[in-house]
Structures are given as C-alpha cells and as structure tokens.
C-alpha cells in the first residue's frame, strides 16, 4: 500500500477491520514517516476528545421550553402567516396591472400590419425584411411594444408584436414581401429603442419610450399611439407573480 492509503487508514483508525489494522501495523514497522503521522494522528484524536464541552447558555432551555409550550399556530405565525398575505398582495398587483394596461385588439394588430416605417441605418440588423407580423407571432407567441415607430393615430393601435431576435427564423428562406408589410426590423427597433439604441431611433410624438422600464421580453403592451401622456410599460404579470415566490433553501434531513 502507498503512504496515502496508509494515511487514509490511519485517519479512521478506530474503525479499522482486523485485516486493515494488520496491514497498517506492517507498514508502520518499516516506514518511519508514517509512524510519525500515526503518532500525530493519535495526539490529534486525543486532543479533540479531551475538548471540554462548553455549557450552553442557561436561557437556551427556557427558550426552547417556552417555544414548545407555545401553540404551533403562534409559534410559526411569522413563517406561515406571511404566505397568504403575500399571495393576496400578488393577486392584487396582478389584477391591478391587468386592468390598468390596455389590451391588444385584433383591429390594432391589423392596423400595425398595414404600416411600414423606414428604418434608420443605426437600427440593429437583427433580421432581414419581409416577415409578416403574423408569421412572427406564430413563431414566438409573444407580444411587445413598438416604441420607436411612429404609428398612425388610430384608437386602440400602438401594439406591436415583439419577438426576441434570436427567435426569428432564418431570413434566407423567407420570401420577399411587398413594401407596406411591417417587417421584423420594426421589431428590432422596438427592442433596441428600449435599451441601447433609443437615441438613434427617436420616438414618435405621443409615443415616448421609457428607458427606465424593466427590459422584460414579452411584456404586455401598455402604450397607445394616440396623443397623450406617455404610459410607462408595466412589468409582466408573470414577473410580478413569480418574484415573491422564489424558493428558499430549507434544511430537510
């Protein structure tokens, strides 16, 4: 056996089998280095065993007994009582955000689909042109907000179909589309204008992008194209609901 293997056996010397013990003894007789290690290990074990046990604080037992005698409902009130409160708050927030945000309508989607805006040269070239919004929505299932594109002042419009650039299908296989069709590059503007490319894509009047808004992909559309005060985008309800429900590690023996 090697020295390391003997050290491993020495480390748990109290639980060696007779065969292992004999092997160790045979090795120690011819190995002064491991004999020194064995002596040090023995001293180490004796020192640890001789450690005096520190008495716990006298109040500890009183605390434990007081907690035990307390009814469980009160004992764990802080732990379990906050759950329903948090759930109620989350539901309330979700309902509020649902009612305060305008809903995309079919007419608004059709209106957007009929518009086309020339792209600035600084727009992120995420995709080529000629992909209809309906095609995007089929691939992504997400909706976003077009913050940089001037939209016609149609009531209820202003809802853009947002999609992450990575989810756009390859452009080589896409057929060319006529000019009036809104393109995916439109979506690219909408995404970049909310982050880094906002200065390069000036927003339309009455359609102010809010740079401070959280960059949540697929957030519910909240702004309209009608003139008026800018409406900051609301975080998605999924994000609101999921935030307080992060699991915390608990010891489970």
Nearer to other proteins, 15 or 199 (CB): 15
From 68, 78, 85, 173, residue interacting with other proteins (rule: CB under 8 A): 68
Token pair 């000036």 is at which residue? 202
197: CB partners within 8 A, 6+ apart: 122, 123, 124, 189
What residues numbered 35-64 form the site for other proteins, per CB under 8 A? 37, 40-41, 43-45, 47-57, 60-61, 63-64
| Contact flags string 104-123 toward other proteins, x per CB under 8 A | --------------------
Q: Evaluate whether 2 touches 32 at the Cβ level (below 8 Å).
A: no
CB of 22 to other proteins, least distance (A): 19
Element (H, E) at 116: none
Nearer to other proteins, 45 or 96 (CB): 45
Cβ contacts of residue 243 below 8 Å, gap of 6+? none
229 is a contact residue toward other proteins (CB under 8 A): no
Q: How far is the CB of 75 from other proteins (least distance, A)?
A: 8
CA dihedral 107, 111, 112, 115 (to 10 degrees): 170
Residue whose CB is less far from other proteins, 166 or 250: 250
128 contact partners, CB below 8 Å, separation of at least 6 = 171, 174, 184, 185
> Of 203, 208, 206, 225, whose CA–CA distance to 109 is shortest?
225
Give CA–CA dist 102/99, Å, rounded: 8
Choose which of 67, 107, 120, 205 interacts with other proteins (CB under 8 A): 67
Under the criterion CB under 8 A, does residue 173 sit at the interface with other proteins?
A: no
Site membership for other proteins, residue 250 (CB under 8 A)? yes
The footprint of other proteins on this chain (CB under 8 A) covers a number of residues equal to 36
CA atoms of 16 and 171, how far apart (whole Å): 69
**Footprint of other proteins on this chain (CB under 8 A)?**
7-8, 10-12, 14-15, 37, 40-41, 43-45, 47-57, 60-61, 63-64, 67-68, 75, 249-253
């Amino acid at each position: 056996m090697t020295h390391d293997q003997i050290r491993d056996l020495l480390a748990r010397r109290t639980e060696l089998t007779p065969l292992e013990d004999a092997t160790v003894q045979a090795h120690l007789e011819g190995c002064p280095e491991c004999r020194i290690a064995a002596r040090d290990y023995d001293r180490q074990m004796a020192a640890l065993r001789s450690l005096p046990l520190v008495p716990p604080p006298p109040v500890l037992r009183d605390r434990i007994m007081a907690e035990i005698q307390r009814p469980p409902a009160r004992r764990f009130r802080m732990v379990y009582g906050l759950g329903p409160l948090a759930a109620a708050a989350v539901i309330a927030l979700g309902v509020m955000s649902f009612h305060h945000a305008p809903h995309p309508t079919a007419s608004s989607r059709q209106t957007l689909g009929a518009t086309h805006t020339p792209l600035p040269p600084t727009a992120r070239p995420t995709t080529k042109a000629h992909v209809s919004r309906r095609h995007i929505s089929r691939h992504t299932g997400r909706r976003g907000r077009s913050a940089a594109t001037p939209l016609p002042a149609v009531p209820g419009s202003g809802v853009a179909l947002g999609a992450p650039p990575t989810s756009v299908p390859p452009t080589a296989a896409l057929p060319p589309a006529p000019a009036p069709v809104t393109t995916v590059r439109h979506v690219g503007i909408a995404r970049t204008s909310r982050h880094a490319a906002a200065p390069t894509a000036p927003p339309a009047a009455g359609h102010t992008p809010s740079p401070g808004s959280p960059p949540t992909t697929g957030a519910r559309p909240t702004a309209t194209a009608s003139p008026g005060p800018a409406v900051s985008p609301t975080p998605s309800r999924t994000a609101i609901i999921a935030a307080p429900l992060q699991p915390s590690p608990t010891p489970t023996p």
